[in-house]
Structure formats: structure tokens, C-alpha cells
Amino acid sequence: MYDVIIVGAGPAGLTAAIYSGRSRLKTLVLEKSIIGGQLMLTENIENFPGFSGGISSQELIEKMHKQAEDFGAEFKNEEVKKITLESDFKQIHTSSNRYQTKSIIIATGAHYKRLGVPGEDRLIGRGVSYCATCDGPLFKDKVVAVIGGGNTAATEALFLAKFAKTVYLIHRRDKLRAAKILEEYMIKSNKVEFILGSVVTEIIGKDRLGAIKLKEVNSGKEELLNCDGMFVFVGLEPNTKFLAGLVNLDSKGYIITDEQLQTSVNGIFTAGDCRLKTLRQVVTACADGAIAAFSAEIFLTKL
């Protein structure tokens, strides 16, 4: 029987483990893939407080992981399949085991939809990114491409225009889906150029991205676009499918919580990118992890 089981070992889950372990709660962290989650798609983090000049994502995660283990948190590499509610505890079912716990913190994060084209997976973190806020400053005075036509793509293109020499916004339709005012802002920036009615078919580069192959939707004509970076914004999906029917989710699958990060089920909390919120950054994920662990401790005290 655990006091707290944390599902997910990204920045939110690791911070929750640090706080719950430090509070002397018997803590287990379950992670289905790699420690660090989506953060490991980024090479360097420049906007995390306390690290002038930035810190590599790997180094930051290693420090957080060790800190959690130093406070007694236990880690296991298992995928959670479902959660069931018993009379006095909660039961977590993984692909190979079942665990009993008094409280749960869901920190499974979200994943960016990928294009699914050749070269994408190989060049992630080497020119291919899914976070302009994280990686934009690394492309100062360089040429970048933004893939997508919605508000997120437009907003991130404007952010990238602060750093890059040229930003190409590539969208498969002949009109953007973004708000008209964002389109006007991009035009006024004099740095954003539109390539509409085209899709990316291949990402080219040996050690780093060097060019992307584009195909016109109507004519089928192909051309190469030389660029230093590519930012993909074609959608974000929370990793919450296993929670369907258990806790309240919004229409996109994000977990709905109160200010204490309590879900609709008493004793189940959430933290990080999988919950409904405005800003999804490493620092906000860590804040969520701290709040969720503190709320879980209060819940356990009342028990």
C-alpha cells in the first residue's frame, strides 16, 4: 500500500515525487517510457529560473530524478492501463502488476501531433521542434518554418519572428484558420512569409535539419525549402485515454481540476500538461507538481 502513486515522470511528476518524498510519504512513480517525458524533445532550456545561459534538458531531468530518489521516491518503468476505485483505496493496473494506493497524482502530460514524414523522428531536437517558447531563441537570425494554420501556429510564428531572420508559415489549405487579427500581425511583422496550399513530405538533414521538401496540394509540384529549423503545430493531445469514465475531462481530453488540482474523484489529483490550463511550460508543470503533492498530503492527513 502506497501513500501516493504518481503516474508520469516528466517535470510535473518528478516535482510531485520530490515534494511527497520530502514529506515522508511512501511514493511510487510509474513511467511507461523515458524519465523526462516531452521535455526530452528539447536540447536546451533557457527559461527555467536559476540557470543563466540555460541548462540541457537531460541534465535538468537527471538532477530532478536524483533529488526525488534521495527523498525516497521509488521508480518503476510500467504503463498504467486503468485505475479502479475500491472502498478504502485506489488500485492501479499496469501491464504487469497491480498497486494499491491511498492517493494518486496524474502527470501523464500531452504529446504533440507529428507530421509522420521521413526524417521527422530522427531530427527531433536537431532542428525539428514542437515548442517555439522553448527553442525559439536558439534560432536567432536564422530561417525557420512553422507548420500549421491555426491560432497556435500563428502565435508561435509571431514569437519566432522576434528572433529569426525569416519565418515561413506553411499550411495545407489555401486560407489560414487563425484569427484574422493574428494574420494581420504576421503581415505587419515583415518577417513572416506564407506558403499556403502545401504540405511537408520529407525533412532533410544528416546531423541537423537543412531543408524540407514541400508538395503543392493541388498541382502535386514539389520543391525544397532551405531552413535551419522547423516548428510543428498541428495539434496537441493529452495522454488521458486510460482515464475515460473515471474523472471529468473536457472535450479535448484534458483533465478538469479545482485550484488544489483535485479532479472530480476524491484523492485523485493531476499536474502538468495533461490538465486543462492556459500555459504549458516546464516551470508551470513543476508548480503543478508541488501543488498536487501538497494537496495529496492534506488529503492523506484528513484520512
Q: How far is CA 85 from CA 101, 118, 267, 294, in A?
A: 10, 43, 10, 22
Q: From the candidates 3, 88, 121, 135, which is the catalytic residue?
A: 135
Catalytic annotation on 174? no
Q: Residue 91 in 3-state DSSP?
A: strand
Note whether 164 and 189 are within 8 A (CB).
Answer: no
Give every CB contact of residue 246 below 8 A, 6+ residues apart in sequence.
83, 85, 265, 268
Note whether 17 and 6 are within 8 A (CB).
Answer: yes
Task: Please name the residue ranges forming H helices in the chain.
Answer: 11-22, 57-70, 132-135, 151-160, 180-189, 282-302
Note whether 38 and 110 are within 8 A (CB).
Answer: yes
Catalytic annotation on 227? no
Catalytic annotation on 134? yes
Q: From the candidates 70, 88, 121, 131, which is the catalytic residue?
A: 131
**Euclidean distance between CA atoms 232 and 19, whole angstroms:** 34
Could you tell me which of 45, 78, 79 has the C-alpha nearest to residue 61?
Answer: 45
Catalytic residues: 131, 134-135
